[in-house]
Structure 1
Amino acid sequence: MALLISLARHFSLKRLLLRTLGAILSAQAITLIILQVISRQRKRYLPQGGFPHTRFAEITIGQDHLQLYDYGRDLYDDMLAAIDSAQETIYLESYIWKDDSVGRAFKEHLIRKAEEGVAVYVIFDWFANLVVPRKFKIFPPTIHVLQYQALRYPWHLFDPRRYALDHRKLLVVDGTIGFIGGYNIGETYATSWRDTHLRIRGPAAADLAQSFVDFWNQHVPAHERITRRHPRCFNPLINVRGTSAMRLMFPIRDMYIEAIDRAQKFIYLTNAYFVPDSILLDALKAAARRGVDVEILVPWMSNHIIADWLCRSHFSECLKAGIRVFGYRHMLHAKTCTIDGEWSTIGTANLDRLSSIGNYEINVEIYNGDLARQMEVLFKYDKTNAFELRLEDWEQRPWYVRLSEWLLAPLRFLT
């Protein structure tokens, strides 16, 4: 009899757990559906254009010259000029490439240079460009094209490394001029999104070129590989950090943690989708507790409403640790950080799981006071278009908001 009672209790408990799990999953699904409906509605009211931006002077680090960009139109003009100046090679890699006036301009300039005999190589992510018309993604045979597709064969479903998207954004001309940052290619990004990009003129651009070549050669047949190599050198002041799912290399996250652990004065961090793992978040909190001025700037309403809610689920923890949080009033897509007037990074990696240990990403890490000062100016300039979130105000948010954050928190590992 005792055994029967024990079994009955066991199955009763199991049934209760299953029902509880089912209720939570159902609540998560309902929350996601509601947020997607809200997302479609709010797109009509998102601010378009009109955000503050500035122009920076080019700075020199040894033999390299660095130009910082915070406005897409300025960046695109210089990228097209660089393409037009090409004599030997053009490497262009973009996560998203829109079929609009900006996208078509890039395509036309590339075709023209290919017809002149310049070796033109193009990479774009297949999944990210599903909504782009197929006709636009067709190039003449004079241009070498890699439409990167993460899952090419059924058995790739069983290899987690194969789920990585190509989230990188690069343009390298003749191995001597390189562009890297958060900007995709399209009209919206030219004037309506605040993002950050960097141009490197000089020997350090060869590292960007080789990164493109390595990615290309890894994903094409042997007879299509690029054999050209650009002379490279060791530069302790400018380092390129790239993640590779296939090689299980994820140095960008480690770069952030190491720099944060060294901070003594301030950390100014800007990120479009701030959903850090516990170790990176603990590093930021520890910095704030030892007296470092830690300031985080995120878009208050981004183009991904789920990412917004996952980001906000960290705010109480951040604010209680002494981290200052600022909400940008326009779409902010930048992925940058500057620390103590000495160290800076600009690139494509968000602070979420997809960028940290998932997608192909690339950042440049720079040790230079002049660039760091420009990054500080840019951060403070961005704050003029942002509001600071106060703990006492945030703690007063409605109960249903707290509940939604709790329900969605388990989804952090998917972002």
Structure 2
Amino acid sequence: MITWLFIIFRTINLILIWILIFYKRKEPALLLAWILLLIFLPPVGFVMYQLFERTPIPKKKTLFLNEYHEQKQTRTFSRSFNNSVASVIAFNEIYNGSKLYMFHDWMYFSNGKDKYKQLFADIEQATESIHLLYFIVREDEVGEKLIDLLTQKASQGVEVRLVYDSAGCFGTRLNYFKPIIEAGGHVYHFHPPTFRLIGLNYNYRNHRKIVVIDGRIGYLGGMNIGKEYMSLDPKYAPWRDGHIRLVGEAVADLQYRFIKDYLLVCEDDKDELHIKEQLNHYYKSSLVMTPCPIQIVSAGPDTPTDDIKMAFIKMMQVATTSIRIQTPYFIPDSLFLETLKIAAYSGVKVEVMIPTIADHHYVHRTTTSYIKELREANITVYLYEGFLHSKNLIIDDEICTVGSTNIDQRSFKINYEINAFIYDKELTDQVVYQFHKDVNNCRIVDETYEREKSLIIRIEEAIYRLISMLL
């Protein structure tokens, strides 16, 4: 019996290898890792493939939305930028197809309390539509407040649409959102697992956090919906994060991305037809006249290139004085890591801030495995005394990006992500100010860090780093 099972697994795995080589065309290093796992550990390789290498959900035809959005994209103002900024803008326009939007009012949030206060106030004032996409919606006081508000607005006739990620909300009951639906709202989960109990389809998660209200107000950043983002969960307190509220031209890009993701999961033909017929209802012209240049870049399995990662690389390439990074996970690919090292060896001051508290043990151990390598390149590493969830990259204190993208291969290759690339000095200064403020709650890694590591930690780092590309 065992022999037959082994033969069956080996046969199936050979088919999976063929798919990886000729259909998915994996990168050589990743492909080799999968081949070795599938050949030498057939049952384990099969289970790992089912959990982490399932094909993303198929695309629906959204050509009508693409054409409409392109018509709405206009450049209403131009000004001269220095060469470094101009080259990043040009890269995002040419490589990522991201237009430069000039006029915005903005608010930057460094904690969940301030973000939720403003978000809930905006939802209460909504009169036409509320669109939300979150990776996580918790069953706690913050989630309940959101559900109650959305239910109330839906019962008032406001169009409410909510998309949540199935893996991110694995612990959230499916009927938690029932009051919104009963009030007339639309709720869908993204890329649901084939078997919810064992969590198949774990990869290709929608990690974006997008809110668009009345087609005029937009939110994006790192915060989901849950009490931990307000530092109310003792396990992760203090919790630091970053989020942006925008009123202005770039909200059109947030609306476009939400509708495109929504159409991937929408099962209501009438609602889909309604969206097609009422697109003007969701795109509102802005009267904002405050210059604040921004580009919105999305990336994921639905794009042919690593748009956000490559934009990060471009930003680091133009750095002349400083690179500041805040990320909960630091698991870069070779291109990102080598670009960062080259900048450091060229005299650019490079600082990387990661948390001391781990929300995923294996991810944290993989992150800490890079510290020695960073320090050898004269890169300063800060350990934030708490959980740092901010996903910020700042160049020369002049350009910054804020969004959902972590510095890891999951965000770069597998997840659906979205970031704002900001060329406004005042907004960038706010992000820089928060970075310096966070430094005061950090300890700088010195030569004692590696010496004090236990053998167990060293073994864990080596193993987790080896398999990180598969997870």
Provide the rounded CA distance (Å) in 2 between the counterparts of 1:219 and 1:137: 16
Q: Superposed, which structure 2 residues align to 1:214-253 within 5 Å?
A: 214-221=260-267, 222-225=269-272, 226-227=275-276, 228-229=279-280, 230=283, 237-253=293-309
Cα distance, 1:200 vs. partner?
Answer: 0.4
1:180 and 1:380 map into 2 onto residues whose CA distance is: 22
1:357 aligns with 2:413: yes
CA contact (8 A) 1:180 1:363 kept: yes
Alignment-derived partner of residue 98 in structure 1: 138
1:165 is aligned with what amino acid?
R
Quote the Cα distance in structure 2 between the aligned partners of 1:240 and 1:78. Answer: 22
Q: Aligned runs of 1:209-358 on 2, under 5 Å? A: 209-221=255-267, 222-225=269-272, 226-227=275-276, 228-229=279-280, 230=283, 237-358=293-414
> Which residue is equivalent to 1:84?
124
Q: Give the C-alpha shift of residue 395 in structure 1.
A: 4.3
1:132-189 alpha-carbon deviations (Å, 9 max, x no partner):
1333132334101111125559xxx99x9x9301111111101111111111101121
Query: Conserved in 2, the CA contact under 8 Å of 1:273 and 1:298?
Result: yes
Partner of 2:82: none
Shift of 1:396: 4.8
Cα distance, 1:80 vs. partner?
A: 0.3
Q: Residue 206 of structure 1 aligns with which residue? A: 252
Deviations 1:76-113 (A, max 9, x none): 00000111111211111111101111111111111111
TM-fit CA distance, 1:285: 0.6
- Report the more deviating stretch, 185-194 or 217-226: 217-226
Q: CA deviation at 1:374?
A: 1.2
Residues 391 and 353 of structure 1, relative CA distance in 2, 3 Å threshold = same
C-alpha RMSD of matched pairs (Å): 2.7
Identity rate, percent? 29
Which structure 2 segments of 5+ residues have no match? 1-35, 45-100, 232-236
Q: Which residue of 1 aligns with 2:15?
A: none
What residue is the counterpart of 2:230 in the other structure?
190
- The residue type equivalent to 1:297 in the other structure is M
- Judge conservation of contact 1:150–1:164 (CA < 8 Å) in 2: no
Q: Secondary structure of 1:291's partner?
A: coil
1:163 aligns with 2:181: no
Q: Which residue of 2 aligns with 1:140?
A: 181
Q: Distance in 2 between matches of 1:346 and 1:208?
A: 14
CA distance in 1, matches of 2:421, 2:325: 14
Contact 1:353/1:414 (8 A) holds in 2: no
Residue 108 of structure 2 corresponds to 68
Question: Aligned in 2, Cα 1:130/1:400: closer, same or farther, shift over 3 Å?
Answer: closer
Distance 1:99 1:285 in 2: 42
Cα deviation, 1:12-45, whole Å, max 9, x if unaligned, reads xxxxx99xx88xx9xxxxxxxxxxxxxxxxxxxx
Distance 1:365 1:350 in 2: 15
Shifted more, 86-95 versus 162-171: the winner is 162-171
Amino acid at match of 1:106: L
Deviates more, 1:247-256 or 1:274-283: 247-256
* Alignment-derived partner of residue 13 in structure 1: none
Q: In the aligned structure 2, how far is the partner of 1:393 from the partner of 1:330?
A: 18
Task: Provide closer, same or farther for how the CA distance between residues 236 and 195 of structure 1 changes in structure 2, counting only shifts above 3 A.
Answer: closer
What is the deviation of 1:295?
0.2
- CA contact under 8 A between 2:102 and 2:249: conserved in structure 1? no
- Which sections of structure 1, spanning at least 5 residues, go unmatched? 1-16, 26-60
Aligned to 2:443: 387
Trace 1:392-411 onto structure 2 (pairs within 5 A).
392-411=448-467
Q: Is the 8 A contact 1:204 1:232 kept in 2?
A: no
**1:123 aligns to 2:179 (yes or no):** no
Taking a change above 3 Å as real, the CA distance of residues 150 and 163 of structure 1, as seen in their structure-2 partners, is: farther
TM norm structure 1 = 0.80
SS of residue in 2 equivalent to 1:286? helix
Counterpart-to-counterpart distance in 1, 2:132 and 2:209: 8
TM alignment of 1:40-55, pairs within 5 A? none
Equivalent pair of 2:109/2:242 in contact (CA under 8 Å): yes
Distance in 2 (alpha carbons) for counterparts of 1:206 and 1:215: 14
Q: Distance in 1 between matches of 2:168 and 2:387?
A: 19
- TM-score, structure 2 length as denominator? 0.71
Q: Is the 8 A contact 2:138 2:172 kept in 1?
A: yes
Residue 369 of structure 1 pairs with residue 461 of structure 2: no
Post-superposition offset of 1:382: 0.4
Structure 2 equivalent of residue 39 of structure 1: none
Letter in 1 for 2:359: N
Q: Helix, strand or coil: the match of 1:106?
A: helix
The whole-number CA distance in structure 2 between the counterparts of 1:361 and 1:134 is: 24
The offset of 1:411, in angstroms, is 1.6
Q: How much has 1:247 moved relative to structure 2? A: 3.6
